[in-house]
Each structure stands twice: as structure tokens, then as C-alpha cells.
Structure 1
Amino acid sequence: MQNAIITITNLRLRTYIGFNPDEQEKKQDVVLNIEIHYPGDKACSSDVVDEALNYKVITKTIIDHVENGRFLLLEKLVSSVLDIAKGHHWVTFARVTIDKPHALRFADSVSLSLSWQQEE
């Protein structure tokens, strides 16, 4: 089996994230990194579009969810994006990491990662 791995790197979006009053009044930057695994045998051998996982559809759904959502906790945001990333029945593994730049005064960002693996 050929394990296809889709990696979406540094998807920069804006959303309401945080529970402090100023965080709830203006959107903040977030940076998403997403990894999705699926069996790629059919797509590799057939070169047929419908045999490949459509990362554009997944990404558009994530963009809409993040930019139109409001989240108190980074954990909730990451978990909800992970649910979208693992949503297709072909997906066997997914990992989502979201960075919140400037969340701490002396750090470039704070990030949280969650992953999911299909049970065998």
C-alpha cells in the first residue's frame, strides 16, 4: 500500500480566539499546519482525479470554519479543524497544529497539536 501524505503548510487565517475581552473584540492571526494520510494506490496508478483526496475542498471548509468562527480555547479550535481534516472516509491519520503568534510576550507563538489515527 502506498500511503499518500497531504501536508498543508502555514495556512494563515484570522479568527476570534481567546477569552480575554480584547481577544473577543478583534480577529487574530493563526497559522495552521495540517497533515492528512490516506491510501494513495489508486490515484498513483490510475491518474484519475476522483481517486485522489481533494485537498482543496478540505482546505476551503477549514478556511470557512476558522474565519467565521469564535473560539475561547486553542484546544477547541484545533479539535474542530482536526474533525474536518479527518472527515473523509479514506483518511487514516490526521494531525493539526495551530500557532497563535504573539500569544506570549517573549515568544514568537504558542501552538497546540492534536492528532487522530483510524483504529484497525
Structure 2
Amino acid sequence: MATSNAIIKITNLRLRTFIGFNIEEREKMQDVVINIEIHYPASNAIKEDNVDEALNYKKITKAVIQHVEEGRFLLLEKLVADVLDISSQHPWVQYARVTIDKPHALRFADSVSLSLEYHQT
């Protein structure tokens, strides 16, 4: 059976962190909503039904939570880049995309978001 990449999606992970460069943003935690997509080859996991052959998305999520909740970020770009780095650390990852929304960042908008992608070279 020919298989393509497995695609893991972590959807709407809601966390709080210090994000922004204005004084009030540096003093009060704000909500962020994180979406992560990770592609990796899953042929062995499918064939063997073996946990060791699958990417551990729980471990990735725990690392993201710890980093975001314990961190302080001036720029959304830095936060997204850090989460992308965590999401793409495993050598099996061929592609990853992270989008982070900052709700209520603009007065008349639901949120502002930024996305970055990783492609294995």
C-alpha cells in the first residue's frame, strides 16, 4: 500500500503569554491562538502499528505550551518562529506551518495573525 505523508494538525491551541512592545502589553498576559500543521512520512507507523514509528504530537504540544507560557515576546514574528522551530525539530518532519492569532490586537478586527513555514532541505 503506497502512502503519502501523515498530516498532523493541532488546532486552536489557546494559551496566554506576554506579547507586544507597548507598556500595557508587557505588563499583562494576552491570549494567543496557535495552529500547527506538521507533515511526516508515516509508512512504518501504518504498517507496524508501533508508537515508536509515529511522531509524538503530545510531546510537541507540551514543549510549545511551556515555551509560550513561560516566554516574553516583543514581536509576533519571534513567537511564531520559536513555535515553528519546536514543531519542526524532529528529523522526520518534512514540512511544518505555524499560524498564531493575537485576538483583539486591532480595534475593529477579530485578530491579527502571522504564519511561517518550514521545508526540509
TM range (shorter): over 0.9
How far is 1:2 from its partner? 2.3
Match of 2:14 in 1: 12
Segments of 4+ in structure 1 off by > 6 A? none
- 1:50-69 matched pairs, under 5 angstroms: 50-69=52-71
- Structure 2: which amino acid aligns with 1:56? K
Residues in 2 aligned to 1:94 and 1:81: alpha-carbon distance in whole angstroms: 10
Q: Normalising by structure 2, what TM-score?
A: 0.97
Match of 1:106 in 2: 108
- Structure 1: which amino acid aligns with 2:40? Y
Taking only the aligned residue pairs, the percentage that are identical comes to: 72
Match of 2:92 in 1: 90
Name stretches of at least 5 consecutive residues in structure 2 with no aligned partner.
none
Residues in 1 aligned to 2:7 and 2:42: alpha-carbon distance in whole angstroms: 8
Where 2:118 maps in the other structure, the secondary structure is: strand
Residues in 2 aligned to 1:2 and 1:55: alpha-carbon distance in whole angstroms: 18
Residues in 2 aligned to 1:33 and 1:112: alpha-carbon distance in whole angstroms: 11
Residues in 2 aligned to 1:59 and 1:89: alpha-carbon distance in whole angstroms: 17
Pick aligned residue for 2:40 from 2, 22, 38: 38
| Residues paired across the two proteins, number | 119
Residues in 2 aligned to 1:64 and 1:10: alpha-carbon distance in whole angstroms: 16
Q: Normalising by structure 1, what TM-score?
A: 0.98
Residues in 2 aligned to 1:2 and 1:93: alpha-carbon distance in whole angstroms: 13
Residues in 2 aligned to 1:60 and 1:19: alpha-carbon distance in whole angstroms: 26
- Structure 2: which amino acid aligns with 1:36? I
- Structure 1: which amino acid aligns with 2:84? L
Aligned-residue CA RMSD in angstroms? 0.5
